[in-house]
Amino acid sequence: MHSLSQEIQGFSKGRLKKQCTRVTTVMGRTLLERRGDGGEVEELEEEGGCGFVEDKSLDLQVGVVRPFLLLASQDAAHDSDTLQRYKVSHVLNVAYGVTNLYADQLVYKTLQILDLPDTDITSYVGECSSFIDGAREKDGVVLVHCNAGVSRSTSIVIGYLMLREGLSFDDAYGQVKLARPSIRPNPGFHQQLQSYKP
């Protein structure tokens, strides 16, 4: 039987899997860094420099904020099984440059909003809330999405709860986070919603 010290000595560094680290620069550029054998850092490809990180794994997690109000990423909005499972009838697309795949089957509203801290997100809340209300009146289910379902769509849903249900920012944020734990409005949106007085 091998002793542990023999096993450790027999283990070569070359057998270690190379680790990649994803680094996002202040400007929103995403780089992959990998340590070479000599400990030097090599920079690999750069991905989507448009403020969002292109992730190859699908995010089909749908946050049910209200029975008629769902929050998700573009992956869920493009997945027909997910849309059917949640009985989605209306889609509010607040992403930039994301197509609506099922325009012949679902009712869409598209607002191309940029996920930038100085975008005035609260100026969109009224228009989006009217669309959500319209779907609700028809017993519909609205899926609100942006690219990642983390900042823009989240902010719209929080704004909706504040506007229509009179919730405080903290309450609205807490309820949305419970439905979709990965939410994180950008710092500008966070601040705007905190001082939003519908």
Reported as a single tens digit per residue, the pLDDT across 70-108 is 999 999 999 999 999 999 999 999 999 899 999 999 999
The verdict on 43 and 81 lying in the same domain is no
54 is a domain residue: no
The verdict on 39 and 96 lying in the same domain is no
Closest alpha carbon to 164 in 188, 132, 138, 140: 132
131 is a domain residue: yes
* Strand runs labelled E in 60-164: 63-66, 69-72, 90-93, 107-110, 142-145
Is the pTM here over 0.75, yes or no?
A: no
The verdict on 82 and 175 lying in the same domain is yes
Q: Which residues are catalytic?
A: 146
The domain in which residue 38 lies consists of 12-47
64 contacts 72 by C-beta, under 8 angstroms: no
The verdict on 96 and 135 lying in the same domain is yes
Q: Phi-psi bin for 161: left (phi > 0), alpha (psi -120 to 50), beta?
A: alpha
Joined together, the tokens standing for residue 46 give 């750069």
| Percent of the chain at pLDDT exceeding 70 | 72
58 is a domain residue: no
Poorest-pLDDT segment among 43-57, 117-131, 177-191: 43-57
Average pLDDT, the chain: 85
The verdict on 25 and 88 lying in the same domain is no
79 is a domain residue: yes
More confident residue, 50 or 133: 133
57 is a domain residue: no
Burial (CB count within 10 angstroms: exposed 0-12, middle 13-18, buried 19+), residue 186: buried
The verdict on 40 and 121 lying in the same domain is no
The verdict on 67 and 142 lying in the same domain is yes
Domain count, the chain: 2
Predicted local distance difference test score (pLDDT) of residue 46: 46
